[in-house]
Amino acid sequence: MPHAVTKGSGLQALILCGPGSSFPTFTANPDENPKALLPIANRPMVWYPLDFCNRAGITDITLICPPSASEAIKAALSTNPFLTSLPAPSVLAPKDLDQTTGTAAILRLPEVRELVTTDFLVLPCDLVCELGAEKLLQAWMVKAASLADLLEEQDLGRNFLAEGGVSVNTQSKPIGSSSSANGNGFATHSGGLGVWYDTRTGIPTVKSEEKDFVATVPLAKTPSHAAGTAAGAAGTSDSKTAPSVVPYLERVVTAMPTDSLNDLNEEKNGYPTRQGLLRRHRGLRMRTTHRDAHIYVFPHWIMDFVQANEHMDSIGEDVLGWWAKAEWQHGLPEKLGVGKALQTYCAPSGGDNSDSNSSNGGDGHHQQSSSASPSRSRVQWARSLTSGAGPTSAAATFVSSAPVTAPLTGADAAGSTEATAATAADEDQRQQMPPLLAYVHPSSATAPLIRRVDTSQLLLTVSLQLAKLPSVEEVALASGVAADSAAALAISSPFAHTKKVAYPEGVKPRTTVTRPDSLVADNVTVEEKVSIKECVIGANCQIQEGAKLHQCLLMEGVVVGKGARLTRCILGKRSEIGAQSVLVDCEVQENLLVEPKTEEKDNNFMSSEGLEATAEEMDEAMQDVSDDDVAVGGV
């Protein structure tokens, strides 16, 4: 049963459905078994980002996948009961998209450029985010978006230029010129927002989990900001009670994967911090235990920015990394063509835009969208976010691109002449660069869960964590409301299942199923003397007499034989575990039979089908051996 949703935002959402190379056991054939359909806590992986969008009222959703995987994804969208319960997204399979195409390169594909006509979200298919998307979009609206265009209110032009690019004070000068910002020092165009979370909290530690390096500086605090921070410190960071995520926003100045950071440290014998960064910003904070959630709220102009920089292959490393540096590294915006990308969107609303047409190579797609007025639903949504007091008040929470620094006095002031001159020379650059903000998710134990699920160990760990959520039935019973009511859904986690054991009739007497930390799906049969502790059991599974399962994930249709003992195992669809087998920390590919009495630890059971050498390959190998023997004999 879907949760209640907010009003539509008018934004588009792109969900990138990659090949799943980090799941070799379960996506050996990514065309038939794409990563997006792997189950997380008995729901298809792609259900989670779709639900994330649905809760925010985003209806213009497109799944982007390689052409070879589109049929399997389309079939699941029309048949899987979890996916059919949500509004159906579109599926786009660009002809040049393959298993190695980078996330930034995807934005340059012609089909994707034609698709994107407004500000948009980019999400991975492996995202599990309990935090409401509407809170992130609200933070983006009040801290990084160009509200004058969204709200169609001219008085806001004193703080932001309209998305059309004309200031009320500089009617004839486009963005990219020296006066592209007003005298208040505010950013002149919509910026972007990314999300980072601490990998040390939320779920039990997964040693193999990737991390990213991000350096940020604080935003100027307003009274409402300080109040929100105090509320968060008081323990009100839960997604249902926290008024805003604005207190956790910071400005990104550098971002890259930790592997790239390590390579840089090795090459330079340490992390090289540029003087321009230290001159521009104080209070610099560097994080190495966080991870980029790959949740991006992007303004429309980023499409042209990526198009103009073909060296950018990854959104997380290249697009964010270069964008963040361009705010403080002198001359970089010009090298990256930022002004030209922004100029596409700077014609007066309803006016002529010859510069836009030329800068876009004659493609009228962006020209048309830049001069169009925002949709009615988007305007209404923006008004609802920015009306009233508190952190969501637009007048109180504009982000300034001026650095957060303390005034210098005495000898420090006398010695800062050079820095002041350099800062003055960079002033136009800072003003014309739209802000790139980071929502740094709080690390408290009660914070909503945010996680990428891109390895088998994360698949198991996150599924087991979600299995611990109270079911809607349990929450309703504790609260005294009907289990099928809207009230029960409103007070339950968006990831809560209706029941912990969907088909109680299938569980025989004299069995042990620890319901507080387990999930058992429909049509599962559990015979006597079975023990299921902290497990997720998929639909149509059969657990035979005497089997014992602990911290396991079973996909649909699995058969576990009599007396088998499984610990921390992941079993693929329709696999079968022979009687009396003992498996620890193992993965079993779909449709695979593990022979009875097998005892294995830390092993991946995969079919050898398709790996056998052909007759021609065997002949070539034997010929090579014969040639080597002749060569040795002739020495």
DSSP, residue by residue, 245-276: SGGGEEEEEEEEEHHHHHHHHHHHTS----HH
Residue-wise pLDDT for 164-189, tens only, equals 333 333 333 333 332 333 333 334 57
Distance CA 311, CA 304 (A): 13
The letter for the amino acid at 274 is R
Task: Say which residue, 423 or 35, is predicted with more confidence.
Answer: 35
Distance CA 381, CA 377 (A): 6
DSSP assignment of 388-453 equals: SSGGG-GGG-PPB-S---PPP-HHHHHTTHHHHHHHHHTHHHHHHS--EEEEE----TTSPPEEE-
Distance CA 4, CA 507 (A): 33
- In words, the CATH class of domain 501-610 is mainly beta
- Amino acid 208: pLDDT: 83
Bridge partners, residue 554, by sequence = 537, 571
Domain boundaries, the chain: 462-499, 501-610
Q: What single-letter DSSP state applies at residue 175?
A: B
| Mean pLDDT confidence for 121-148 | 87
Most confident of the ranges 184-193, 472-481, 621-630 = 472-481
The letter for the amino acid at 491 is I
Q: Is the pLDDT of residue 13 over 90?
A: yes
- Amino acid 362: pLDDT: 40
Task: Say which residue, 384 or 395, is predicted with more confidence.
Answer: 384
Distance CA 153, CA 175 (A): 19
- Pairing mode of beta strands 548-550, 565-567: parallel
Distance CA 52, CA 73 (A): 18
Confidence bin at 98 (pLDDT 50/70/90): confident
- Amino acid 400: pLDDT: 35
CA distances from 198 to 52, 97, 225, 411, 436 (A): 20, 32, 22, 40, 19
| Mean pLDDT confidence for 101-116 | 96
Confidence bin at 608 (pLDDT 50/70/90): confident
The letter for the amino acid at 110 is P
Residue-wise pLDDT for 504-542, tens only, equals 999 999 999 999 999 999 999 999 999 999 999 999 999
What value does the mean pLDDT of the chain take?
A: 78
Task: Say which residue, 591 or 410, is predicted with more confidence.
Answer: 591
Task: Say which residue, 224 or 101, is predicted with more confidence.
Answer: 101
Do 539 and 497 contact (CB within 8 A), yes or no? no
- Amino acid 628: pLDDT: 55
Take residue 529 and report the two structure tokens written for it: 């003397």
CA distances from 525 to 16, 157, 507, 533, 635 (A): 36, 64, 6, 16, 68
Interacting residues of 265 by C-beta distance below 8 A, sequence separation 6+: 271
- Amino acid 187: pLDDT: 42
Distance CA 67, CA 95 (A): 6
Q: Is the pLDDT of residue 25 over 50?
A: yes
DSSP assignment of 37-99 equals: GSEETTEETTHHHHHHHHHTT--EEEEE--GGGHHHHHHHHHH-HHHHTSPPPEEE--TT--T
Distance CA 215, CA 185 (A): 22
Burial (0-12, 13-18, 19+ Cβ within 10 Å), 462? buried
- Amino acid 21: pLDDT: 81
Nearest to 243 by CA among 255, 256, 234, 252: 234
Q: Is the pLDDT of residue 602 over 50?
A: yes
Burial (0-12, 13-18, 19+ Cβ within 10 Å), 229? middle
Distance CA 342, CA 354 (A): 14
Confidence bin at 240 (pLDDT 50/70/90): very low
- Amino acid 546: pLDDT: 97
Distance CA 324, CA 327 (A): 6
- Amino acid 379: pLDDT: 52
Q: Is the pLDDT of residue 601 over 90?
A: yes
Task: Say which residue, 173 or 24, is predicted with more confidence.
Answer: 24
Task: Say which residue, 391 or 522, is predicted with more confidence.
Answer: 522
Nearest to 127 by CA among 39, 55, 48: 48
Q: Is the pLDDT of residue 239 over 50?
A: no
